[in-house]
Chain A
Amino acid sequence: MIKMSQNLNNNVCNENSFNVIFNKYATDLHDFLYYKFGDHLNPKDKVQEAFIKLWQNCKKVSPNKAKSYLFTIGNNLMLNEVAHQKVVLRHKQQGTKSYTNESPEFVMQEQEYLEKLQNAIANLTEAQRVAFLLNRVEGKKFKEIAALLNISTKAVEKRIYGALKSLRTQIEEL
């Protein structure tokens, strides 16, 4: 009986649990959307929209379903807007230092390497790109990514390892 009544109240309709969920998933959702779709569709807006939708449907969503709900909504919001375009993630510009000990050749090489890397990332599959960048850039472990994407650790491992291989061959080739 106690369990049941808990379950009944178990939705995200109160502000406290909503905030907890926001703090737990907002950044991950943002990063996921960014790595998957790039920034030209404004992932930040989609995160906010997804959370607003979650609130509006708060009675139907239990806290343990909130994560997949948010990721699905965020994903759909993006898909609604884009007929698949190739996603090119832009790298940040080299820090403009007023002085540098690095030789001009070195700077050139670095720049060249970055260009290659950018192309190579763009050529990854969407699934590879998301998993790989969450792993490398956001420092997430396989298990964490698996939980976020609702797939098995093994699958994550495969995607990331595949992405690494693909990047390396592309960079060396060019």
Chain B
Amino acid sequence: MEREYLIQKWLDHSLNAEELEAFKKLEDYDALQLLNRNLQKFKAPEFDKKQSLDFITKNLKPKKHNNWNIKWIRIAAILVISIGSFWYFNKNNNTTINTLASQKTNIDLPDTSNVILNSASNLSYNEKTWYTNRKVNLDGEAFFKVAKGSSFDVKTEKGIVTVLGTQFNVKQRNDYFEVVCYQGLVGVTYMQQPQLQLKPGESFLVIDGKTIKKEIQNKLQPAWITNKSSFKSIPYKHVLSEFERQYNVRFITKGVDLKQLFTGNFTHDNFEIALKSITLPLHLTYSKKNNTITLKRE
């Protein structure tokens, strides 16, 4: 009993002087001391308080900021959601179709109207209000076959084209705006000018702000629908732009007159032949590196 009591007290580090003497006289005192001495070798590695606190404090700072920020993030989130839903429900439910360079696509509008979208173009319309308001926004070039019905508007940066059920092509590129009527009657409103009426075969063309008269042509659809780009007295600059869109390349020109008029066409299916057909007539040489083509006078 006495022995166990002393060991308990020893364990609890609470032996008094008298008890310590008695403890030392125990027969297993040596064994306990040996054990105790060796146990010290299992001590936990030193814990570096200062270093740890530094680490923690460093990691706390941003948290404090966050606490403050969260309020603002919440406010911002509410604003975004409310503005977003306001915008969504009130204004826009637009369907947007994009084509990349050297890509064409065929779009069926909610009625039986059909649009073929040329390369690097963008078309959007509102599906919800389609039947009360047939309106599409166009940036680029597209050929429309419009189903009979109420008026149909094509809105571009340069002008509005209004029709009643017809086939026509609209091309709106930088400094280039062209409407060609293939069937029916097309109204063109260009830059606030009074509306102009186009009959089948007639076209309306503005290049660099200048209206250009074109003779009547009797084709059924634009050439690009059949993978060909066709030009008649068009500044060379616009021919190159069209080529860039169809083949996804860039031109660099050296000593080439970009204003000279070009008549001819190039195919969308064969790069080499297409490139030849726009360079040979003008006696230009070309060299190609990656996606960049350099044109030079011979």
Contact = CB atoms under 8 A, between A and B. Distances in A.
Contacts of A19: 53
Contacts of B8: 157, 161
A55 B60 contact: yes
Contacts of A52: 56, 59-60, 63
B155 to A, nearest CB: 54
B44 interface: yes
B45 interface: yes
Interface of A, secondary structure class, is helix
A164 B49 contact: no
B53 A117 contact: no
A117 B52 contact: no
B41 A51 contact: no
A31 B47 contact: yes
Contact of B12 (A23, A39, A118, A142): A142
Contacts of A22: 49, 53, 56
B38 to A, nearest CB: 5
B31 interface: yes
A171 B35 contact: yes
Interface of B, secondary structure class, is helix
Contacts of A44: 47-48, 52
B55 interface: yes
Given A91-B41, A92-B41, A141 B56 contact: no
A34 B38 contact: no
Contact of B41 (A30, A43, A114): A114
Contacts of B56: 22, 48, 51-52, 55
Given A22-B53, A26-B53, A91-B42, A56 B47 contact: no
A69 B4 CA distance: 36
B35 A117 contact: yes
A66 interface: no
B39 A137 contact: yes
A92 B48 CA distance: 18
B13 A139 contact: yes
A167 B11 contact: no
Nearest to B66: A56
A56 B232 CA distance: 73
23 contacts: A22-B49, A26-B47, A30-B47, A35-B44, A44-B48, A48-B52, A51-B56, A52-B56, A55-B56, A55-B63, A90-B42, A117-B35, A121-B42, A136-B36, A136-B39, A137-B43, A138-B43, A141-B12, A164-B7, A167-B35, A168-B31, A168-B35, A171-B35
Interface of A: 19, 22-23, 26-27, 30-31, 34-35, 39, 43-44, 47-48, 51-52, 55-56, 89-92, 110, 113-114, 117-118, 121, 133, 135-139, 141-142, 157, 160-161, 164, 167-168, 171
Given A22-B49, A34-B45, A55-B63, 13 more contacts: A23-B49, A26-B47, A44-B52, A47-B47, A91-B42, A92-B43, A113-B38, A114-B38, A118-B42, A136-B36, A138-B44, A157-B12, A167-B35
